[in-house]
Structure 1
């Protein structure tokens, strides 16, 4: 049931909630955190944590994807980013980190212009092959991401390189893209013909998510990604309060499970998950796993060197993101598993998830999706 409120006399809208608006509540029992399982599996691939590294150049390089994979997560490499445009992107990354912001805040047209210039270099298919081969040689699960606009152009190279999981990620992705200018990607046919599981998104509501599930996707990304760096709401007026979005897409998963006779599609929260509390609440609202950008950009190994930005920040005509300073809190292993000396939820992310599950009495992630929640908007001290 959807409740709408009046927005003046001529418009009604759904009341939607962000993750800051909700909180979980304890159950009648507690558990030992060591007895809690945070294992996650999608298709044939098993992971000891439900953590996916977002395909953002400030977060995932081949090296950090390997590190995250060895720590039990899944690193997704941006196959349209600096790693596939430059033979040696280290100097480019150093330049981006060294760019000086003029004035207060993150917004600086000069930085945006320079990002656009750097990302105008052509994608080199041989570098796609080389980067994915580097990850494969380490023995971890290999995942790469393309936008819907680039998928037709590069997917054969990606598949030939031996990718295990294919991610199609955009600001918003629909199963039915309409264009008068070019032949759009037929998502259902594409996934049907592909021999690897596909994760696709973002989707922000019940109906678009259900349509994506019907294409055969193994997982659906919820949200628009790039939460800390994105300016999509200011630039395009589009926003998806994540608590409501995850709950709506989880409902689509439930209904599609019944419609398809038992096919389970994973719901992956993507965007605006900067702290361990956000991760906890995303899973409580129905997510199976989380895709992290800002949270992992704070790792000492992260390519952004304490800075964070997304592909939207370098869009050639409609940039919708900024380069933001997130700092560093420790090595990736410490960031995920502790020990932590941070009280703000920026490290020991998995440990905090375990403790929340134990405190509320749940033993695995699927059970934890049933935890009680309350609407209780967060008020900063």
Structure 2
């Protein structure tokens, strides 16, 4: 009799696994595969790895609270992640594996614009939903792809607000050093310059650096000779930090503004706190606890405990993606139909679990383009840390209309 019972249990367990179910204390639970595509190694990993960590933390939190309950089913989340190394070909390959081999209908992460744009070029043909995080290239949502959504605002949405801020602080002749061949930095600069010119200012120099460059003294020496009122730095954390450090080493005392994001820990790997003192970062508000509600404090504490370091400011873009998906699956009555879930996302209010400070557009988190907007902020490095100084006024409705016009 014991032998017979053991055989029945084994057969039942095998059948359950074959139906994509989890054999646990909750025998009817289903597995929901979340596919994460991000830069987990290389220069882009300062954004991608924290995003992947954030997805896993959100999944663990939801699973610990019983999973996602929708349409009579309970879904336990399984995260599968691949490293795209910030490379478009790698991203295409990893997303194909997630969809074709791992059965993922829901794709999250996407920190860098090049690989994200490569995936966006074909995702509308897939039975899947793509949730984009830190990637800031405008065109990603300018095409109005019905199954693609982005939690981070485009770079030029922030660039315009930054241009107004710098002009109001009295700067008129601005020298720019940055990864200007990267389109979203170019878009930020275009919007920044437009607002600066309106206020009577101008860009007096545009010097470039590559992602792997570490000696910025040639560019800085050229800029110093022009005696600008201020320096604007556009680029990933590490090369930007070298610019800030080497500007001080060359005796350049003008105000330094940037569009970089990044935590204190990431900047201090390159520059000292004294060399960073006074630097401005004009970016989405992101993970700035004093500008956000209690969710942000909880997020920082939980992330730091789980991973042993503070989260990158942009990492909650991916954390919030998981809760967007959870709420949409609940509204759609299940996770099986990706089109129904995408439709639910379009009608979704800002989830109560969200960490970032989102600005609703006509009452919903995402506009007609699938684009969400966070507030923009002015941050300054003061005595070893980024300090939130002010919110930069931003018009989501006007920008949403502009974005829509690009693909009509």
TM-score normalised by the chain length of structure 2 = 0.28
Report the structure number with the largest CA radius of gyration.
Answer: 2
Could you say which structure has the greater relative contact order, defined with CA pairs below 8 angstroms and 6 or more residues apart?
A: 1
